Amino acid sequence: MPPSILHPPSSQVLVTGGAGFIGSHLAERLLRDGKSVVVVDDLSSGRMANLQAVSGHPALRVIQSKISACAELAELVARAECIYHLAAAVGVEMVVKSPIHVLETNLHETEVLLEAAAPHRTPLLLASTSEVYGKSQKPAFSEEDDLLIGPPHQSRWSYACSKLMDEFLALAYAKEQSLPVVIVRLFNTVGPRQTGQYGMVLPRFIAAARSGAPLRVYGDGQQSRCFGYVRDTVEALVRLQASRAARGEVFNIGGTEETTILDLARLVIHTLKSNSTIEFVPYSEAYAPGFDDMRRRKPVVEKLARVTGFQPQTPLREIIRLTAGL
């Protein structure tokens, strides 16, 4: 019997981590689409303020809890049309400073959710990360690439490994228990409401430029990244969840306009018409001795475009403007 028959139609959507940066934008989108949304978030990194715009919406319910501690989890999963699993420990600083928390959160909470979803075959989209590509020196990363993870004594790789294990576990449930699963690897999603508290570079730069403080660039600033606007990311998430062709597959989501971190700092200063300067900070001072950063991190997004007809295209200058609220 196909999963669509086993799983009755519903308009209720479960979003774990729905009070976080991306999760809150996703919750808003789903509510606009006429869905009832249940957010499960322990608020360890999410904030209720992120949901302020929809706080009084009659179709929104927020449960402050870890997934594993949510007494209603089995019932919520059984009634849900689908699940977006965005709850995770995030940010380079948290990874470096709290590796036990990162591993326990990313592994255990995902395991609990998959176990709950499997009997009902509730379609589940798992948010993973570009970090799983590890130390590869390829100019752009494709979903079929081999993954090269750094050594275990460098704690930054614990995050990549925890999310990669989430991917393996989700695909195992898809294979053995016919759970409809989609995996997405997010590349530097940015936009309004993102905080620089956990090391995210663009909100850090914007906050510094606004206050006239130096923009702290780690290393030599020649490491390059691509940035995707959060509403583009949400559009991709919604389309992938709705696509049967996407089930059992892995997709990159991100912009493809590459920039060095030094040029990003300059562009932020120019866009905000700031008088801030740029300060170079050694990685050993910013994080810890032996910290290993990637020189390039660019996604190949043809698979996303082929399956959904969509790929993020908001220009970086516009992303900075929108993120800064200009």
Nearest Cα residue to 80 out of 177, 11, 182: 11
- Tens-of-pLDDT digits for all 326 residues of the chain? 333 334 445 689 999 999 999 999 999 999 999 999 999 999 988 999 999 999 999 999 999 999 999 999 999 999 999 999 999 877 666 666 777 888 888 899 999 999 999 999 999 999 999 999 998 888 999 999 999 988 887 777 888 899 999 999 999 999 999 999 999 999 999 999 998 766 689 999 999 999 999 999 998 999 999 999 999 999 999 999 999 999 999 999 999 999 999 999 999 999 999 999 999 998 777 666 655 667 889 999 999 999 999 999 899 999 999 999 98
Decide: helix, strand or coil at residue 205: helix
pLDDT score of 295? 82
What is the model's pTM? 0.92
CB atoms within 10 A of CB 52: 11
pLDDT score of 231? 97
Give me the active site residues, please: 159
Domain spans, the chain = 11-190+229-256+298-313
Q: Is-contact 87 41, C-beta < 8 A?
A: yes
Nearest Cα residue to 254 out of 8, 2, 14, 22: 22
pLDDT score of 5? 36
Name the architecture of domain 11-190+229-256+298-313: 3-Layer(aba) Sandwich (3.40)
